[in-house]
Every structure is written in C-alpha cells, then in structure tokens.
C-alpha cells in the first residue's frame, strides 16, 4: 500500500479517550504540499538518514545531558538508550515517506508520552533542531563533497533541494502532530476539571490545568 492511499483520517488507537480532535492527516499533507512525489523524494535520502541519524541523536542526547531541565526526565543511561532506540524506530517511517496509520499511531504515542511526563514543546522542538541540523549538514556535505558547492553534486541541485525541503516538511508535520496531542491532553484535563469541580481533588487539578502545558498528568 502506498503512503498516500493511507493518508486518511487517523484512526483512534484502542483505549483512546473520546473527545479528541480528529487528526486529518490527508488535509495536513495536502496543505503543506507533501504529496506522493515529495514522499518519493524523502526516500532518496533514506540511506543518508540511516547512516547519520544515530550521529544526530548522539548530538541531541549530548545536549540533553548538559541540560538539567530535560536530563531529569531520564533515570539512567539505559533509559536514554531506550528513548533513542524508540526515536530511531519512528524515523524509519519518516525516511520511508510513510505517513500512514502506523506512523500516526506512533506519533500519537510520542505526543502522549511527552505530555504525560510534562515535556514542554520547547524541548521537543529544540531536540528536533539539533537532529535536523546534523542531517541537513551531512546531506549537503555528501551531495556536494568536501569541494563545496563547486564540485560535481551526486544529486541534481533541484532534486536535492526538493528532497531536503520534503524532509523538513516531514519533521514539521511530526512536530505539529505531537504538539496537537499536547493540546488535546490539555483539553481533556480541562474537561476533567469541569467534571470534578465538586470533588475534593479539584484544587489540585485546577493548579495543573492553570499551567500552559499538561505536566505530569496522571492516568485516569
Ligand atoms: C529534550 C527533548 C526530549 C526529551 C527530554 C524526551 C524524553 C522522552 C522520555 C523520557 C521518553 C520515555 C522513554 C521511556 O521511558 O521509554 C520519551 C519517549 C519517546 N520520545 Fe522523546 N524526548 C525528547 C525529544 C524527542 C524528540 C525530538 C523525538 C523525535 C521523534 C522523540 C521521540 C520519542 C519516542 C519515539 C519515544 C518513545 C515513545 C513510545 O513509548 O513509543 N523525543 N522521550
């Protein structure tokens, strides 16, 4: 099945709580002009992504280890290794230009996990900035070689530009979807608050929902 044939409205995973906004992947892809050609274009960078993603992730996690605000989310190096492994798995879909159901379920889980631990979008977006920095730099170096822009490129400039631009669009889609989950979670928390106004725990929920993003919301 092609990616585009599965660009339908996302299905809610089992156990998903009601009331969430439908995430119209097809509409998003269409608006950002990430079409079948763009997805094919992303695939031309697949081997580069496979080779360079671990290096980009190492740079990201090196930065994370130096930043107490985000290092605190990890209990050990093994914990970091697990998150890194999960991130690599998610990138398989991205570098395949595959934004079908499997991809959507994964990004939904990522958003939910991040929202539950209280990771603000600032850090998620910042993390992506480091990863993308590495991937783009590595791709330009690979295409134009050490001789810079004047040596013979491996891919035609137009094709290469399209591939890079499509990859950036894919990352933006990813951020949009993950952050939409945060917004959904915040709405769910507000609804819970309304329902529980009369209960003794209402004050606690009021304190949590008054903050800009859901932080460490418990499973209900
Ligand atoms: C400073 C930024 C970030 C922090 C602190 C962070 C933190 C975490 C933590 C603590 C987990 C749970 C790991 C576990 O217990 O197994 C996690 C899961 C995950 N994160 Fe992040 N993350 C960040 C950025 C990102 C970015 C940029 C991506 C890009 C795709 C990403 C993708 C994932 C994935 C795929 C999972 C696994 C979700 C699952 O359970 O299936 N994270 N993250």
130-143: per-residue pLDDT in tens? 999 999 999 999 99
- State the total domains in the chain: 1
Q: Give how far Cα 190 sits from Cα of 19, 22, 23, 54, 151, Å.
A: 12, 18, 20, 39, 57
pLDDT of residue 32 exceeding 60, the answer is yes
Q: Rounded to 5 degrees, what angle do the CA atoms 119, 123, 128 make?
A: 125
83: CA distance to ligand 1 center in Å?
Answer: 5
Residue 1: inside a domain, yes or no?
A: no
pLDDT of residue 35 exceeding 60, the answer is yes
Residue 103: inside a domain, yes or no?
A: yes
The full length of the chain comes to 220
Least confident of 61-65, 118-122, 208-212: 208-212
What letter does residue 149 receive in the DSSP assignment?
A: G
Closest protein CA for atom 25 of ligand 1: 124
Global pTM reads 0.80
Q: Centre a 10 Å sphere on the Cβ of residue 110 and count the other Cβ atoms it contains.
A: 18
pLDDT of residue 29 exceeding 90, the answer is yes
Residue 219: inside a domain, yes or no?
A: no
141: CA distance to ligand 1 center in Å?
Answer: 28
Question: What value does the mean pLDDT take over residues 134-156?
Answer: 84
Write the CATH number for 102. 1.10.490.10
Residue 32, domain extent: 23-209
Residue 79: inside a domain, yes or no?
A: yes
For 162-188, letters b (16+ CB in 10 Å) and e give bbbebbebbbbbbbebbbbbbbbbbeb
Closest protein CA for atom 23 of ligand 1: 124
Greater model confidence, 112 or 7 = 112
- Confidence at 184, pLDDT banded by 50, 70, 90: confident
With a Cβ cut-off of 6 Å, ligand 1 is lined by 64, 70, 73-74, 79, 82-83, 86-87, 90, 109-110, 113-114, 117, 119, 123-124, 127-128
pLDDT of residue 189 exceeding 70, the answer is yes
Closest protein CA for atom 18 of ligand 1: 83
Contacts of 97 (CB under 8 A, 6+ apart): 3, 38, 39, 40, 41, 42, 43, 166, 170
Q: Which of these, 39, 32, 6, 21, lies nearest to 172 by C-alpha position? A: 32
- Confidence at 54, pLDDT banded by 50, 70, 90: very high
Residue 86: inside a domain, yes or no?
A: yes
Residue 85: inside a domain, yes or no?
A: yes
pLDDT at position 191 is 87
pLDDT of residue 159 exceeding 90, the answer is yes
Q: Which of these, 155, 152, 177, lies nearest to 165 by C-alpha position? A: 155
Distance of alpha carbon 70 from the chain centroid: 17
38 touches 169 (CB < 8 A): yes
Question: What value does the mean pLDDT take over residues 64-77?
Answer: 97
> For a pocket test of ligand 1, which of 64, 110, 131, 176 has the largest count of ligand atoms closer than 8 A to its C-beta?
110
Distance CA(126)–CA(124), nearest Å, equals 5
Residue 185: inside a domain, yes or no?
A: yes
Q: Which residue carries 């725990």 as its tokens?
A: 201
Question: What value does the mean pLDDT take over residues 48-61?
Answer: 97
Residue 3: inside a domain, yes or no?
A: no
- Confidence at 151, pLDDT banded by 50, 70, 90: low
pLDDT at position 215 is 56
Distance CA(25)–CA(173), nearest Å, equals 9
> For a pocket test of ligand 1, which of 83, 134, 173 has the largest count of ligand atoms closer than 8 A to its C-beta?
83
- Confidence at 150, pLDDT banded by 50, 70, 90: low
Q: Which residues are registered as beta bridge partners of 9?
A: 24
């Amino acid at each position: 099945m092609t990616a585009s044939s599965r660009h339908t409205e996302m299905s809610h995973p089992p156990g998903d709580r009601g009331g969430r906004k439908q995430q119209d992947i097809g509409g998003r892809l269409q608006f950002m002009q990430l079409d079948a050609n763009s997805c094919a274009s992303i695939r031309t960078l697949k081997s580069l992504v496979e080779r360079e993603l671990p290096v980009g992730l190492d740079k990201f996690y090196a930065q994370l280890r130096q930043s107490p605000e985000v290092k605190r989310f990890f209990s050990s190096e093994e914990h970091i290794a697990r998150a890194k492994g999960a991130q690599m798995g998610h990138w398989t879909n991205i570098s395949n230009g595959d934004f079908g159901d499997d991809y959507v379920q994964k990004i939904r889980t990522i958003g939910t996990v991040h929202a539950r631990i209280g990771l603000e979008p600032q850090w998620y977006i910042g993390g992506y900035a480091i990863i993308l920095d590495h991937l783009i730099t590595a791709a330009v170096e690979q295409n134009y070689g050490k001789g810079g822009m004047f040596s013979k490129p491996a891919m035609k400039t137009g094709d290469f530009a399209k591939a890079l631009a499509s990859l950036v669009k894919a990352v933006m889609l990813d951020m949009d979807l993950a952050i939409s989950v945060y917004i959904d979670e915040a709405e769910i928390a507000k609804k819970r608050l309304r329902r529980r106004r009369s209960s003794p725990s209402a004050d606690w929920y009021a304190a949590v929902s008054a903050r800009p993003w859901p932080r460490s919301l418990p499973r209900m």
